[in-house]
Amino acid sequence: MIVLDQLQRRLRIKVTALIAAIVILGFGVLVILNIRREAQVLVDAHQETARLLSAAILGSIQSGMLQARPDVIRRLVGDLKAQLGDVERLDVYRANGVEAFSDLETLRKVDQLVGLDPDTVQRIARMRREPGERISHPLFVKAVETVMPQQVYETVDGRRVLTLFRPLENRPRCQACHGEDHRVRGVVRIALGADRLDAELRAARNRQILIAALTILGVAAAGIVSLGRVVVEPISRVVTAARRIGAGDFEARVATGSKDEIGELGRVINDMAVRLDAARAELQARNAELTAALDSLRESLEKVALLEQIKGQLAKFVPESVKRLLEENPDARELEKREADVSVLFLDVEGYTRLSEQLPPQQLNRMIQLYFSSFLEIIQAHHGDVNETAGDGLMVIFQSDGSRTRHAQNAAGAAFDLLRKVSELNEEFTGVYPRVAIHVGINSGSALVGATKLDGSGGGRWTFTASGQTTNLAARVAGLTTGGEVKVGPETAERIKSQYVLQDDGEHQLKNVSQPVRVYRLVPAGVYRTVDR
């Protein structure tokens, strides 16, 4: 119940926040739009007032100028400044930026053109005073250039004002006195204070904000109460049932009375509970079956592990080719026995009898095992297959599909790598074991290669070998080598002569071979001498 209360509280908070956000966002936009619209209306009214005032003042100035009464215009400007409280500035400037009616420049030009009454000239001359600074306001310049009214809100002496620049056009009736060489006689500047406008804007804004706040509170309260009944409580019932089902009580159900989405969700959960209850019963039955099957499988795996252990131990005594054959067909008697082109390598440890006299049997066995184990990696790297070991010797078969020279080159490369490895091991075990030397004989040609299963009363045994004259000749060539030499038969020499340096060792009469055989010695890399082919 504590968890459910917390869930309901969090859900109410989220719903309240969502409603508040939607209402605030919606009404906030409306309030902003209303404030802007009302503000624009007030600003437009303020600007219209300024335009009407400036038009009236401009008309009075033009009327006084047509009557040649600048003194009247000057008094009018002064009276308007005093009487109109919202008018911050009211000035008249000539087109060159000099304040009008402050000197006699215009009077002299008009008098020269039309000849004014002397009394009028004298009366106007008494009005002369020193003009102020020239006006350089950008909108003044623009009003003169475009002959269009200009206006801008700006701050003057810390107060915001609306400043208007109204050009006095040089109309045809004015040109008789002022000439036709210019379009604008002067500019009237009126600065109307915006204090009243700003106060009205603030009042309108505050009024809109207050109305919006009251509306938001009312709508939010109604929405929260309504959604609490329509959404929060039904969802709480759904959550309660879902939690019970999640805890394993598949008998729990949601009370579904409404046909809305939440009611549909409740019906789906009820259907899910029914299906889960049925699935649990089926799962329990399946678990019982799986438990029995697992026990049986565990026993089988234990047997397989034992067989794999036995297989791993037996694999140490079986060549790789035989293992592959057994995996493919455990009863393949002579199935893989075939004639193939191979290279056979015989390796013997020189002076094995002497070593057996110098070392105890166990130490000699460890030494031979150490050296031969290091040979295995080299032989496999050159794609050779150790056929058999015999105390101090190895027989290795090299084969390759589709190439008669590749396996011969592999055998020769393996021979030199074996000699190099022996040299490294001799250095490593100096003082531990006597120095070891090996000699190698290689021959290539056709042989009967394959695995044969020999059956007897004690069971069967697999053998893998390459039999025939090629193997016999390889063994005889190995018998001719001494002192770490590698010698090859004539067929091997023919196949590797483009890759290795060969030295003719002459013809030899070999045991069980009717004709003399020419034997070649492989010259190690870096040794230069005359080579007989």
Rounded (to 5) percent helix, strand, coil in the chain:
55, 20, 25
Strand partners, 464: 451
Q: How far is CA 7 from each of CA 72, 170, 244, 247, rounded to the nearest angstrom? A: 84, 82, 15, 17
In 3-state terms, what secondary structure has residue 310? helix
Q: Which long-range contacts (CB under 8 A, 24 or more apart) does 56-59 make?
A: 57/90, 57/188, 57/190, 58/166, 58/168, 58/188
In 3-state terms, what secondary structure has residue 516? coil
What's the confidence (pLDDT) of residue 378? 94
Distance CA(193)–CA(202), nearest Å, equals 16
Q: Hey, which of 63-77, 363-377, 382-396 has the most confident mean pLDDT? A: 363-377
What's the confidence (pLDDT) of residue 65? 66
Structure tokens, 359? 């070392």
- Residue 458: what are its φ and ψ, rounded to 5°? -90, 5
State pTM to two decimals: 0.43
Distance CA(311)–CA(95), nearest Å, equals 117
What count of other Cβ atoms lies within 10 Å of the Cβ of residue 71?
A: 15
pLDDT digits (tens, 9 = 90+) for 91-144: 788 777 777 766 666 656 665 655 566 766 666 666 655 666 678 888 888 888
pLDDT digits (tens, 9 = 90+) for 258-268: 666 767 777 77
Q: How far from chain centre, in Å, is Cα 131?
A: 74
Distance CA(386)–CA(379), nearest Å, equals 8
pLDDT, averaged across the chain:
78
Q: Judging by beta carbons within 10 Å of its beta carbon (0-12, 13-18, 19+), is residue 395 exposed, middle or buried?
A: buried
Handedness of CA 129, 133, 134, 135 (dihedral sign): negative
Domains contained in the chain, CATH given: 2-201 (3.30.450.290), 331-523 (3.30.70.1230)
Residue 41 has pLDDT above 60, yes or no: yes
In 3-state terms, what secondary structure has residue 97? coil
Residue 78 pLDDT class (50, 70, 90 cuts): low
For the residues of 375-387, what is the DSSP string, one character each? Answer: HHHHHHHTTEEEE
